[in-house]
Amino acid sequence: MVPNDDQAKPEFKALVGQKPGGAITCPFCQGPVEYQSDGTTLAISKLTPLRYSRRKMERRAVNYGNQKNPPNPIMTPEQWIAEEKLMTGALQGYKYVEDLKP
């Protein structure tokens, strides 16, 4: 759910591979978190973290909402991540990559 440009970066490949070398902005505390060498633990990172794309997250949330019965075409990323990913309370006040651009 990071921008396409960021998906080409080695940091992103590290995150997907659950390896050290890339950080993502935590959807709860917005701190940078990075996989440790055990491949499962996420810990605070010193790297500049990638951020989720608002556009992608909103599209994902609406797609999910539209598949519900009854459909919810106005599902927000906060509602989607709580319901599908069981991450209640995530993304509250999250600064998406678009939010940092002037």
The C-alpha atoms of residue 40 and residue 49 are separated, in whole angstroms, by: 18
Q: Cβ of 80: how many Cβ atoms within 10 Å?
A: 22
Smallest gap, in angstroms, from Cβ of residue 26 to Zn ion? 3
In whole angstroms, give the CA distance from residue 58 to residue 52: 10
**According to CB under 5 A, which one of 19, 28, 56, 72 is a site residue for Zn ion?**
28
| Cβ neighbours, 10 Å, residue 36 | 14
Under the binding rule (CB under 5 A), the answer on residue 19 touching Zn ion is no
**28, 90 in Cβ contact below 8 A?**
yes
Q: Interacting stretch for Zn ion, rule CB under 5 A, among 19-27, 35-43, 51-59, 82-90?
A: 19-27
Q: Does 90 bind Zn ion (CB under 5 A)?
A: no
The residue from 16, 29, 43, 44 that contacts Zn ion (CB under 5 A) is 29
Q: Would you count residue 47 as binding Zn ion (CB under 5 A)? A: no
